[in-house]
Structure 1
């Protein structure tokens, strides 16, 4: 499992993940099923940013990592 997410992409994923989780748990921006969807998006975004690997990118052949 090599890295396929570049630095800019990782940074954007981390910001989106943090904002989604803050919106769910701190600010209460979401209700109902969107609460769970936003939490899932936040966790997935932070996970892929931390690992530097995106399974969906692998499936469609995208690689934003220069190394």
Structure 2
């Protein structure tokens, strides 16, 4: 798994994932908020399988 997510993309994914999980825990959006685990995990590991399939790379030095 070679990194394919850049710094800004990574920050946005982690922030979005945490917000969705927090909203789910507070009961605002229900169980659908747990979908936030996907952007959170891809941001933490700096790898997105969909980017690999589409040939996208936001990491400049990777």
Q: Which runs of 5+ in 1 are unaligned?
A: none
Deviation at 1:44, TM superposition (A): 0.7
Q: Which 4+ stretches in 1 moved above 3 angstroms?
A: none
Paired position in structure 2 for 1:30: 29
Paired position in structure 1 for 2:49: 55
Tell me the distance in 1 between the aligned counterparts of 2:24 and 2:44. Answer: 20
TM-score scaled by structure 1?
0.84
Tell me the distance in 2 between the aligned counterparts of 1:39 and 1:9. Answer: 20
Tell me the distance in 2 between the aligned counterparts of 1:30 and 1:22. Answer: 9
Tell me the distance in 1 between the aligned counterparts of 2:17 and 2:34. Answer: 9
TM-score scaled by structure 2?
0.90
Tell me the distance in 2 between the aligned counterparts of 1:11 and 1:38. Answer: 18
Between Structure 1 and Structure 2, how many residues are aligned?
Answer: 61
